[in-house]
């Protein structure tokens, strides 16, 4: 297996795609770092760009092997599982290298991406990000195992990244829908006022509450499934990490400024979906998220590896 890993790494090292990707990733890592240093929070777009670049690099390299050249190795006695896992581990090595370049660049540019966080939280966030990278990499390797053509596996991987971002927004919107819509009817002007339960006092008449089932609310098993998909989406994790990290990244002045927007008692303050945390302390909810994020990333990783290995075991080489 070590021989196959060396062979795969040789391919990465001698591929012009690696150097093009490295250049692009370094640029995006610098942007990512500067974005944080300028205290603008985490950039979801930089993360998206990095994963698009990685999806192309990994798919091109791995599918090149899975779509035919693996034949040369099978003939010489290498097992299919050995080939699959050597490709997977080599991809992990490349992704890890880029991950640590990101961290190193953050340190060099003194962004405080990790250093400003309390010890355990810093580790949890770094581990979370690392696992997201590995789970996405496993998905790209899975697509390479599934598709019979190099171009197809690249397209599938890139589409997956974009679909994940879009799906994150869609599922969030679906889950945000309240089960009941509450209307308030004024006896004076007969006006309906409803803004997701927030009442604006526009007249001086008496208001009567009318509670109606929200037709767009998804409940039962469908909700449970959507919720699991939402949580398994790597871009959900990124947005959550963004919320957790923001108070540590922003300056004291900025925190104070933002905190004054919402104060306890404000309607938006109690809504966890809307609320942005501007307090530098870890809540129970965040602790649960950090644990869940690792668990979901691990689940995506294990599922994609298992599916990829099963597909590759049965793959027909033309």
Of 3-11, 33-41, 209-217, 284-292, the segment contacting another protein by CB under 8 A is 3-11
Distance of closest approach, residue 70 Cβ to another protein, in angstroms: 8
Distance of closest approach, residue 80 Cβ to another protein, in angstroms: 9
Q: Contact between 186 and another protein (CB under 8 A)?
A: no
Give the integer Cα–Cα distance in Å for 214 and 243.
28
Distance of closest approach, residue 4 Cβ to another protein, in angstroms: 6
Q: Contact between 154 and another protein (CB under 8 A)?
A: no
Q: Which is nearer to another protein, 90 or 133 (CB)?
A: 90
Of 37-45, 51-59, 64-72, 88-96, the segment contacting another protein by CB under 8 A is 64-72
Site size with another protein, rule: CB under 8 A: 25
Q: Contact between 259 and another protein (CB under 8 A)?
A: no
Q: Contact between 311 and another protein (CB under 8 A)?
A: no
Q: Which of 22, 26, 78, 167 binds another protein (CB under 8 A)?
A: 78
Distance of closest approach, residue 6 Cβ to another protein, in angstroms: 5
Q: Which of 38, 40, 72, 228 binds another protein (CB under 8 A)?
A: 72
x/- site string to another protein, residues 6 to 25, per CB under 8 A? xx--xx--xxxx--------
User: Contact residues for another protein (CB under 8 A)?
Assistant: 3-4, 6-7, 10-11, 14-17, 64, 68-69, 71-79, 316-318
């Amino acid at each position: 297996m070590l021989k196959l890993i060396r062979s795969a790494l040789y391919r990465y090292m001698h591929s012009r795609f690696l150097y093009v990707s490295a250049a692009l990733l370094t640029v995006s890592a610098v942007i990512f770092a500067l974005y944080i240093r300028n205290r603008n929070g985490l950039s979801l777009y930089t993360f998206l760009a990095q994963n698009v670049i990685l999806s192309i690099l990994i798919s091109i390299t791995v599918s090149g092997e899975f779509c035919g050249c693996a034949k040369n190795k099978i003939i010489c006695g290498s097992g299919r599982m050995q080939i699959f896992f050597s490709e997977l581990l080599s991809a992990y090595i490349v992704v890890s290298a880029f991950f640590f370049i990101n961290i190193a660049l953050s340190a060099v540019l003194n962004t405080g991406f990790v250093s400003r966080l309390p010890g355990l939280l810093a580790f949890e966030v770094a581990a979370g990000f690392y696992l997201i990278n590995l789970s996405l990499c496993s998905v790209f390797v899975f697509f390479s195992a599934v598709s019979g053509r190099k171009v197809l596996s690249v397209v599938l991987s890139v589409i997956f990244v974009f679909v994940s971002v879009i799906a994150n927004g869609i599922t969030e919107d679906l889950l945000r829908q309240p089960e009941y819509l509450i209307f308030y009817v004024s006896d004076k002007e007969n006006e309906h006022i409803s803004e997701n339960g927030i009442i604006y006092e526009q007249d001086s008449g008496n208001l009567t509450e009318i509670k109606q089932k929200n037709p767009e609310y998804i409940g039962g098993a469908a909700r449970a499934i959507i919720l699991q998909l939402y949580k398994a989406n790597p871009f959900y994790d990124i947005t959550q990490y963004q919320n957790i990290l923001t108070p540590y990244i922003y300056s004291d002045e900025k925190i104070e400024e933002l905190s004054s927007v919402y104060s306890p008692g404000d309607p938006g303050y109690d809504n966890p979906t809307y609320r942005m945390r501007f307090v530098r302390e870890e809540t129970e909810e965040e602790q649960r998220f950090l644990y869940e994020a690792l668990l979901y990333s691990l689940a995506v990783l294990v599922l994609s590896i298992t599916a990829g290995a099963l597909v590759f075991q049965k793959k027909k080489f033309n």
